[in-house]
Amino acid sequence: MDKTDTGKNSIIDRIWSFFASVKLAVIVFSCISLTSIVGTIIEQQAASENNIKLLAKIFGISSAHTVYGVLDYLGFTDMFNSWWFIALLFLFAMNLVICSIERLPVTWKLVRQPQKPLGAEGFGAGSPGREVVIKANAENAGNKAVEALKKIGFKGEVVKSEGLVQVLAEKGRYSRLGVYVTHLSILLILIGAVIGLKYGVGGSLKLLEGTSSSTARANNGKDFPLGFELRCDDFEVSFYPESERPKDYKSILTVIENGREVLTQEIGVNNPLTYKGVTFYQSTYGFFPNREALFKFSVMPMNSPREDVSLKFEGSFKVPGTNMSVKVADFSPALAVNSKGDLFTFAESMINPAVFVEISEGGKVKSRQWILKNYSDTWRTPAGVIEFKDLWGAQYTGLQVRKDPGVWIVYLGCLVMAIGLYIAFFMSHARIWIRVKEEKDKTRLTIAASINKNRIAFDHRLDRLAAELEKTKS
């Protein structure tokens, strides 16, 4: 056959061999891993200033803009939606499919092939030293071997071939398919990821305490519907002592559908809320002073029980059991004292919130003082103990929103992967042959076996099998 006749087939064979190459799988997987590291470091679909600040710490201020320009041109600022990253995923998927098609028929043939009796030479090299002689004829000895196999977890079968009697047992025949189950799981995960990248929506949502929204702002600047309403019931942030660095922040969110509250959950940085395929991640927070916010106090007069009070800015309340009234005159989210003893606000977040109150009696101002939320010593007033609990409705929670229709396929892929890995690593294809050879008034049982992995543990089972057969000597 000349080159003209074989040229077309040769090209097809080369393309097939290229996609079936294990080397290609290693290269593509390495590229996906390395680019994903860069994509994780670089904030995706974010304002350029954020990434330039990050790059300035790594490469210096003078090079940060240049490096960012190169990364932006190559698509690393929106990497997971870039054509080349999708192409890498597609190439990896093609490699998996063709590798499986290339090798699966041979493996399937081996799996479907029934166990056959072993020749005499197999018993000579199979499992030396495992030989038991019992007082029984060949038929009874074969039945006893079947019972012994049952005790170690194998189902035995007596087979007569060419005048010889053997007991055959096989287990884990389909364990060879574990690697292909794992391949299927990777494909499912890739399919779910691509569906999420193609049809998923990412965005953000800011909710002031007590407010709700049925839409979120997508990364492209457009609003998209959630399909339900989300309300922020409360937000709380705690800081490290004597620091502006947040220690923890969390939100209490309620899902409202058809005018009915269907779910309330507290979320944190590593504890998102997911409802109907939409996931809300705690991302940021902020302070937004407004006159609709409520100052919350817990008042305990001298001779009266504790009472909770809520009022707006410049509002006032009467202290139970007294002729005194308390008015909210001023507020600071972060009150501090400078070296001269002057009070000032040092941050816009509620790091050290304080409220300035006027306490009046009979229409005359009796006292003016700051009440700090975090310092109980400031709660004592002429009207009793007044604890400043919160300024509710002045903080907002910043949420990252992700709607991913492919996430359930990814979850399915992870489940299938767990099954495939269990089959591949913890299940073995084991076969046992026991030759039954009758000699005068006794029968010699010779054991041979094979297993494709985990040989040491299998040897222990064969020792148990030999011990069970020893028990049947009499």
Q: Which of 251, 269, 243 is nearest to 352 (CA)?
A: 243
SS3 388: strand
Q: What integer pLDDT is reported at residue 1 of this predicted model?
A: 43
- Residue partners of 369: CB distance under 8 A and separation at least 6: 356, 357, 359, 378, 381
Rounded mean pLDDT of the chain?
A: 89
Residue 187 makes CB contacts below 8 A (sequence gap 6+) with: 93, 96, 97, 413
Contact predicate 462/428, CB 8 Å: no
Q: Is the pLDDT of residue 473 over 80?
A: no
* Structural tokens at position 389: 């609990």
- In the chain, what are the domain boundaries? 3-91, 114-172+428-470, 183-290+396-406, 294-384
Q: How confident is the model at residue 158 (pLDDT cuts 50, 70, 90)?
A: very high
**273-275: strand order across its sheet:** 260-267, 246-257, 223-239, 212-218, 201-208, 395-403, 278-287, 273-275
Indicate the fold that domain 183-290+396-406 takes in CATH. Tick-borne Encephalitis virus Glycoprotein; domain 1 (2.60.98)
Which pLDDT does position 3 carry in this prediction?
Answer: 46
SS3 396: strand
Summarize pLDDT for 69-108 with one digit per residue, the tens: 999 898 888 888 888 988 998 999 999 999 899 889 988 9
Residue 160: per-residue pLDDT = 86
Strands in 307-311's sheet, in edge-to-edge order, are 307-311, 294-300, 384-392, 380-381
* Residue located via tokens 């990434």: 51
pLDDT one-digit tens code per residue, 182-238: 999 999 999 998 898 888 888 899 999 999 999 999 877 789 999 999 999 999 988
Average of per-residue pLDDT across 282-295: 90
Q: Which amino acid is at 448?
A: A
**Is the pTM higher than 0.75?**
no
Query: Is residue 126 pLDDT above 50, yes or no?
Result: no
* CATH-assigned architecture of domain 114-172+428-470: 2-Layer Sandwich (3.30)
Question: Residue 214: which H helix or E strand, with range?
Answer: strand 212-218
Q: Which 8-state DSSP code applies to residue 155?
A: -
